[in-house]
Structure 1
Amino acid sequence: MRVLFAGPPFFGLLYPMIPLAHAFRSAGHDVLVGTCGAAAQRTREAGLLAVDCAPGIDPDALYAEMEKRRQGKPPSPGEAGQPPKGKGFSFFSDEMADTMLGVAEHWEPDLVVHTPNGVVGQLVAARLEIPSVLHAVGFGHTGAHVGMMNNALAPAYERHGLDGPAPVAAWLDVTPPSMSRTQEPRRWSMRYVPFNGGAVLPGWLYEPRTRPCVTVTLGTVRPVVDGVSPVKWVIDAARETDAEFVLALGGADPAELGPLPDNVRTVPWTPLGALLAASDAVVHHGGAGTTLTALDSGLPQVVLGEGADRPANAAAVEQRGCGIVPGGPEDFSPALVQKLLTDDGLRANARETAEEMASMPSPAETVGRLTQLALTARRNR
């Protein structure tokens, strides 16, 4: 069987699908990933075959520029949860559509897997009349959100003689069942397996520690748009906290944070799961992949939760009782870090959530079910 993965060119949206792609490969199926920009190279580094479906564009630079232009302005229709009106940002699905469809018509996949923001996958599935499977990422995506993304892709549907997408055949929900917010009728629960690429890990991760360790990250997108200033308060708190702090800023320049105290360590790109395995708590921006990795780690967390789907992710963590969402500037203090490190309720709830996630069906188990779905659709065509 052949499976096409349609991935938006942002690591936080592409990487959550990689474990399922590996599971298909391990089961003997052929896998191809359609994406663009730096994500094509990252896919290759993950050991998978990739096609650059929009060569010559720099999605990171284009997205950062769009966000900077939009700051302080109301979002355009089709952006940031606005009602669909036939226009808007398609997360580069429109730019990838023609090439990805051409590749798919030649390669003839049996199934397409895509994220809520990778609706080019739904277009390909509609054109080839094969099932599409939506691989959800966090807590903020709904059927209405996916409809909005497809609406932004309306010009591509028109170019290829399609009225619009067919309903997804399955909606893979990777959030813990006790925290799930989706009511999609075709919802399948699947365990979230953190993936952030390979790395040669530093030895200090495995050295004995004499005091707690807090990992701090803003993911890959937010530093490009906002810089690293949103975590300056953590640096200030570190000066008054008997703990180690690890700044994982994805290669962003920490210079705007000023001189760092001795108990703050900066690291280059390092898989977040490995950092959290050596940590006692985490402070992060609230991106979907980061939030789910933090939940999987069983660590208490502070979630900043500003912009895009981050407020929804932050609210889910706070309601489950395994994290803290600061309410305002007055909350950004050493006391917040102390609570993160000492609150037994937060830690117990975080561990319970991780245990719940570990009991969910794995990507390997889900492959068999998806294979049957694709084979049934093939027989019925």
Structure 2
Amino acid sequence: MRILLVAAPGVGHLLPAVPTMWAARAAGHEILVATTGPSLDMAVRSGLPAVDVSPDGSATAGYHQLAPRALARRAEGEHTTEGDAAVQWQGMTSAFGSSWSTVRDHRPAEDADFLASLFAVSGRMIDGTVRIARDWRADLLMFTSFLAAGEIAATAVGIPSVLHGMGLPHPPATGLLGVLDDVATRHGVSGRLEPPAAVVDLCPETLRPPRSARGLPLRYVPYNGGALLSDLVCAVPRRPRICLTMGSVLPGAGADEVVQAAIAVAAARDAEVVLAVDTPDESIRHRLPSNVIMSGWVPLSSVLPDCSVVVHHGGSGTTFTAFAHGTPQLVLPRMADQPLNADAVRRGGAGVVLAERDLDVATLTDSLDHVLGAEEIRRGCAAIRAEIEAMPGPAALLDRLAELAPPSPEVRGGDPGRRDGATVSRPGTASGRS
């Protein structure tokens, strides 16, 4: 089987699917990653064959504008409150089933704009995705959440698609496809999109949002890329270790004031602090306390097992890596799906969440001390970790996915240069396909 994985430019969309792709290759399947920007580089660094489906840089440029625009809108308008998380999920679910206008009725305007913009950015990858899916003759198109190149490209080529989750379940974004009517029309699929044949679901039942549908269960396998680790990070700590990270987007998007406040609070503890922030403000580097290790981008799966707490922004990758390792969390959500992930931490009893309006030194200090000392939080983390470990692994998932893909053209006896009536060219032979 040939699996084409299509991922948005942000590495947080790609990383949860990398272990699935490794398992597919180990099982004898052929895989190819279709992406662009930071995800393209990460795919190659992860040992996966990849192709750039937006070589003009338009999708990458649009992606890099998302976080600064979202933070600017939040500074000008209303802030997400603790009670908004459930409303956000309801609005998101409604939007996926109806229209984008429904999102605006139920979510803060800046969050709605973020998702619409992300969807539009990924739309710039559709032409390249359709082209490579036909030329490479993919049997199955797997795509990540909020990616417009999923249903549109798969329907245009005539192959089944599968939505690969990132953490919490995000329903197929059928209702948002109207944002890209022009693209769908250009590929002849307007009004007749095929929904995903399956949804890969990484969410344990304890954390499942109300009224969210279940998909094919898959154990979350933490993968955060590779890096050269320092001896200090590798050593088992002799006192509590605190990891501080703001993911791959926020540090370069004007969130340095959050990083500075969190560093000040964490460094004041009798603890070792791993600052896993890629590009913090230069003024921070020159005045770090002696108990702070500046690690830069580091695989969290290599750090969190020895951490007493992780302080972070609420990105899905960081949140679920902490869940998988049973690490208590202090979450400071700012935008996009971060409040939803933070709400899962709260509901699962795995940590403390601070709304943006509460990000002052006194509140940060009290919250961090509580997470460090709360036995009930450690019990909640252990329970979630055990639940994740009991979920099926990638090998079981691949058996299910193989049932979705049609037999290859050679098996069907058809023309291997055609798919769904479209003539394509492909160098070489098709021998060795599974």
SS in 2 for 1:292: helix
1:158 aligns with 2:185: yes
Distance 1:286 1:377, change over 3 A: farther
| Corresponding letter in the other structure for 1:119 | A
| Residues 1:103 and 2:126 aligned together | no
* TM-score, length-scaled by structure 2: 0.80
SS at match of 2:247: coil
Matches of 2:102 and 2:363 in 1, distance apart?
26
Number of aligned positions between the proteins = 377
Identify if the C-alpha distance between structure 1 residues 277 and 354 changes in structure 2 by more than 3 Å, giving closer, same or farther. Answer: same
Q: Give the distance between the partners of 1:79 and 1:198, measured in 2 at CA.
A: 41
Instruction: Give 1:186 shift.
Output: 6.4
Going from structure 1 to structure 2, the CA distance change for 1:280 and 1:305 (only over 3 Å counts) comes to same
The amino acid of 2:124's aligned partner reads: E
Equivalent in 368, 393, 401 of residue 370 of structure 1: 401
Query: C-alpha displacement at 1:240, in angstroms?
Result: 2.8
Q: Quote how far apart the aligned CAs of 1:22 are.
A: 0.9
Correspondence 1:173-322 to 2 at 5 A: 173-181=201-209, 183=211, 187-256=215-284, 259-322=287-350
Q: Give the SS at the match of 1:215.
A: strand
Residue 123, structure 1, aligned to residue 146, structure 2: no
* CA RMSD across the alignment: 2.8
Q: How many angstroms apart in 1 are the aligned matches of 2:332 and 2:343?
A: 10
Number of the residue aligned with 1:18:
18
1:376 CA displacement? 7.5
Q: CA deviation at 1:171?
A: 1.0
How far does residue 279 in structure 1 lie from its aligned partner after superposition? 1.4
Greater shift, 225-234 or 351-360, is seen at 225-234
Deviation per CA, 1:201-254, whole angstroms, max 9, x where unpaired? 222233242210000100001112223221222222134311111110124445
From the superposition, tell whether residues 256 and 322 of structure 1 become closer, same or farther in structure 2 (CA, over 3 Å): same
- Counterpart of 1:373 in 2: which secondary structure? coil
- Measured at CA, do residues 172 and 182 of structure 1 come closer, stay the same or move farther in structure 2, by a change above 3 Å? farther
Distance 1:228 1:238 in 2: 15
**How far 1:115 moved relative to its partner?**
1.0
Q: Which residue of 1 aligns with 2:121?
A: 92
In structure 2, the CA distance between the partners of 1:307 and 1:104, relative to structure 1 (3 Å rule), is same
Q: Structure 1 residue 255: deviation in Å?
A: 2.4
Contact 1:232-1:257 within 8 A present in 2 as well = no
2-structure distance, mates of 1:271, 1:339? 26
Q: Deviations over 1:248-281 (max 9, x none)?
A: 0124445257722111111122111101122111
Residue type of the alignment partner of 1:312: L
Which stretch of structure 1 is more off in the superposition, 193-202 or 278-287? Answer: 193-202
Larger-gyration structure (1/2): 2
1:351 to 382, 388, 395: 382
CA contact (8 A) 1:9 1:37 kept: yes
C-alpha contact (below 8 Å) 1:229/1:256 kept by paired residues: no
Tell me if structure 2 keeps the 8 A contact 1:139–1:309. Answer: no
1:92 partner SS: helix
The match for 2:363 is 332
With over 3 angstroms needed to count, the CA separation of the structure-2 counterparts of 1:208 and 1:37, relative to structure 1, is closer
Structure 2 gap segments, 5+ residues each = 79-98, 106-111, 413-419, 421-434
Mapped partners of 2:123, 2:60: distance in 1: 16
Q: CA distance change for structure 1 residues 148 and 230 in 2, over 3 Å: closer, same or farther? A: farther
User: What is the TM-score when the length of structure 1 is the normalising length?
Assistant: 0.90
